[in-house]
Amino acid sequence: MQLTQFTDFSLRVLIYLVRLPEPGMATIPEIAEYYRISRNHLVKVVNTLANAGLLVTMRGKGGGLRLARPADTITIAEVVRLTEPNMNLVECFDPKASHCRIDRGCFLKAILYEARKDFLAALERHTLADAARMGSGSEGESPAPRGARM
Amino acid sequence: MQLTQFTDFSLRVLIYLVRLPEPGMATIPEIAEYYRISRNHLVKVVNTLANAGLLVTMRGKGGGLRLARPADTITIAEVVRLTEPNMNLVECFDPKASHCRIDRGCFLKAILYEARKDFLAALERHTLADAARMGSGSEGESPAPRGARM
């Protein structure tokens, strides 16, 4: 059971933005370099997050990305629901794909629905602000303000 | 977020065995035919379940498979933990694979751990006996006793 890399990268981008000093903007190349992941991956991630209204992007000199809403109003569940292609734990969650002969008479699906509900409920209890809190690890430092690195 | 097909098939095999009339044995070809899935897939599934002590297999005439323990003592969580290759929701769950720069200072991992714990807790509350209960769907009928189909 895994979340997609797309979800992983989406959460990393958002956490990066939460940690920027106010008023902060970031760029895709900067975030790609910080996490050492491909810019191409991040372009897709940023487009998805921007289209969903989680990010604001501004073009031109001094432009970049920032969160569209306060970090404590965006739950982890909202992001995961957006970025996971589906939450179909097994084939029979998708009526169009299901070929299981016991589909309609099987309580396993109800049990797995309950587990998925509890999984998402845990993610509803936490926001990007929680996820971006600073830990004690030495690698957990805030990204430097952009000006400070120029 | 999906469980593997291997887990899906493992649960189907186990539910099939729970639904057999007592004293019941089943064969791999019979289960493959019932669910219309490949025998080769099922051989691997059955080996894994047998090695873990969930199934008993008996060779020879009159042989086959049956559950090694009562269905109400085998939780869905026990099966899922056995059959999923890992439960690493994101890269940083595996210290050897993690290259994320904020790994040690990030609370996202703790949030995802909590969600995974709640997911598995739901599956701990239910057994194969619950999953194999009969629903009202017309396709949810018990497999026929082997003798009855000969």
Assembly ipTM? 0.83
SS3 breakdown of chain A: % helix, strand, coil, rounded to 5? Answer: 50, 10, 40
Domain count, chain B: 1
Over residues B25-35, mean pLDDT: 93
In a domain, A149, yes or no: no
Taking the Cβ of residue B114 and every Cβ of chain A, the question of whether any pair is shorter than 8 Å is answered with: yes
In a domain, A146, yes or no: no
| Domain extent for B55 | 5-135
Taking the Cβ of residue A122 and every Cβ of chain B, the question of whether any pair is shorter than 8 Å is answered with: yes
Chain mean pLDDT for chain B: 85
Look at residue A150 in the predicted model and tell me its pLDDT.
29
Burial of B53 (0-12, 13-18, 19+ CB in 10 A): exposed
- Residue B66: give its domain's CATH number: 1.10.10.10
- Percent of chain B topping pLDDT 90: 59
pLDDT in tens, B50-82: 999 999 999 888 789 999 999 999 999 999 999
Q: Which of B11, B18, B133, B127 is nearest to A105 (CA)?
A: B133
In a domain, B10, yes or no: yes
A104 contacts on B by Cβ (under 8 Å): 135-140
Phi, psi of A55 (to 5 degrees): -120, 155
The model carries a pTM of: 0.84
In a domain, B41, yes or no: yes
Q: Given a cut of 50, is residue A77 above it in pLDDT? A: yes
In a domain, A147, yes or no: no
In a domain, B140, yes or no: no
Which segments of B52-127 does DSSP mark as H helices, in order?
76-83, 108-124
Question: What are the Cα distances from residue A9, in Å, to A12, A71, A82, A139?
Answer: 5, 17, 13, 17
Pairs of CB atoms within 8 A across A/B: 168
Collect all residues with Cβ–Cβ distance below 8 Å to A62 and sequence separation of at least 6.
A25
Q: pLDDT class for B133, splitting at 50, 70, 90? A: confident
Look at residue B22 in the predicted model and tell me its pLDDT.
77
15-54 of A, contacting B, C-beta below 8 A: 15, 34-36
In a domain, A109, yes or no: yes
Can you tell me the distance from the alpha carbon of B20 to that of B137, in angstroms, rounded to the nearest whole number? 18
Taking the Cβ of residue A121 and every Cβ of chain B, the question of whether any pair is shorter than 8 Å is answered with: yes
Residue A76, min C-alpha distance to chain B (Å): 9
Choice among A101-110, B31-40, B109-118 with the minimum mean pLDDT: A101-110
In a domain, A38, yes or no: yes
